Chains A and B, each alone.
Chain A
Amino acid sequence: GAVVSQHPSRVICKSGTSVKIECRSLDFQATTMFWYRQFPKQSLMLMATSNEGSKATYEQGVEKDKFLINHASLTLSTLTVTSAHPEDSSFYICSAKDPRTGELFFGEGSRLTVL
């Protein structure tokens, strides 16, 4: 079974609303998680590194006020897309490293559609 779980797997929202996506590590504690965005037929682009107990580190060109990341516990990171617009429609994927083994696990992804 999955060791990193994302919820929801699919979400449709109206333009202007905010959407929260959760990423949970089920079998280990993750001090660091990563959030990626994937547009249709394109590659994964790293958005930010989520650090437990501190601020996220955003990649160049990613608006931190638009994509709020909270890593309040060692097993949960959340990505909130604020005031979503149709251009934010994408597949969002998180990943987390198991500190015991060094293995990196990806979540199942969350497909966001903004109408």
Chain B
Amino acid sequence: AQKITQTQPGMFVQEKEAVTLDCTYDTSDPSYGLFWYKQPSSGEMIFLIYQGSYDQQNATEGRYSLNFQKARKSANLVISASQLGDSAMYFCAMREGRDSSYKLIFGSGTRLLVRP
């Protein structure tokens, strides 16, 4: 079974508007972490935001926020005020268990294109 599911292979958003990228996950471990990464065409993985399973509040980092709905096992990324430079692949990832390992499982990714 898929551990991390990203159902949107591609998304368009108008510049300056907000966009939500979907991510659902599957785990029976009560302790886990959820990550979002941005991968531009150059290939490097850029860390955006992290949500721990025990965190009470949704994570926010500048224009990025994570809509964490634990009961629904979803961790959607919200990018506000989209910029042309936000065009890239976005990957949701999960780490199961506590800090003993940073082995990440990645979703299939969503390609975001920001239109001027």
Complex formed: what's the CA distance from A22 to B99 in Å?
25
Complex formed: what's the CA distance from A31 to B103 in Å?
13
Q: How many A-B residue pairs have CB under 8 A?
A: 48
B-side interface mostly:
loop
Q: Known contacts being A91-B43, A108-B44, A109-B44, is A46 close to B108, with CB within 8 Å?
A: no
Q: In whole Å, how far is B46's beta carbon from the nearest beta carbon of chain A?
A: 8
Task: For chain A, give the interface size range.
Answer: 20 to 34
Q: In whole Å, how far is B77's beta carbon from the nearest beta carbon of chain A?
A: 16
- A106–B44 CB distance below 8 A: yes
Determine which of B43, B99, B105 lies in contact with A46 in the assembled complex, contact meaning CB atoms within 8 Å.
Answer: B105
- A95–B102 CB distance below 8 A: yes
Listed in ascending order, the chain A residues whose CB lies under 8 Å from chain B are: 32, 34, 42-46, 49, 91, 93, 95, 97, 102-109, 111
Q: Which 9 A-B pairs have the closest CB atoms?
A: A106-B45, A109-B43, A44-B106, A97-B102, A43-B106, A104-B102, A43-B108, A108-B44, A43-B109
